[in-house]
Every structure is written in C-alpha cells, then in structure tokens.
Amino acid sequence: MIDKTVEKSEAEWQTELDPLQYHVLRKHGTERAFTSPLNDEKRTGTFRCAGCGEPLFDSKTKYESGSGWPSFWAPLNGAVDTSVDRSHFMTRTEVHCAKCGGHLGHVFPDGPRPTGERYCMNGAALEFEEKK
C-alpha cells in the first residue's frame, strides 16, 4: 500500500520534473540500462527521491549488480513502499517512494548479504547528495 504524504497534480509534476524523470517517477517507466551516471556513483552519501527529495538509500548499501541500474541491498528505514507489478507478462515487486509515491524501480530476491535483496532503481528517479 502506498501511503504518500506529498500530493501534486500531474501538471505540477510535469512542470517540476524533466521528461525522463516524469516518465519514470509518475508513469512507471524504465530508463535504458547503463545510461544513468548514478550507476557508477561511488562517493559516500545519500540517494534521494528526484521527485520530493526524500532520503531513500545510503551509499553504504549500494553495490555493483551488473544489471545496468543503480542497485542497493536495503533502503533506509521507512523510505520506500512496495506493490505488486503484473506488467510485461510477469509478476514483480515494484518499489515506490513512501513520501510521494514515485516509481523507483523493482526489488528482486537475488541480492547480496545481509538482506539477499536487490533494489534495482532507475537513476532518473534518484538524486545523489554527497556527504561532506
């Protein structure tokens, strides 16, 4: 269940987000693999929702999955919600920002320890804030 606390009209989202961010966050789109500079981000910091700025993932949980999208083994506590996605002739677990409901990506059960999960996120749905 998505219990979002930031609500905006579609017109407001379209004005505030660039076209790719809007496609991913609001229309449940996916960017092409290996196109996000955040896939190669190695600095210490926080990955935030590009829609509302909510902190979502700590860089300590990021790892190289080889999938072509930024991947994490765990989100920050309470930062994301999930729902069932039955599009594209398969069933997956979709990941959303808990604050604004924006589509971030999907979570799969093939990640590393300690969780065994792979939060495969669209870079367009994220912004990186380096820890100073």
Q: Enumerate residues 6+ apart whose C-beta is below 8 A from 99.
A: 4, 5, 6, 49, 52, 54, 79
- Contact by Cβ (8 Å): 110, 67: no
Question: Which helix (H) or strand (E) is 22 found in, with range?
Answer: helix 19-27
- Catalytic, 97? Answer no
Q: Which one is catalytic: 49, 97, 100, 120?
A: 120
Could you tell me the maximum CA-CA distance found in the chain, to the nearest angstrom? Answer: 44
Question: Which helix (H) or strand (E) is 108 found in, with range?
Answer: strand 103-108
- Contact by Cβ (8 Å): 38, 123: yes
Residues that are catalytic: 120
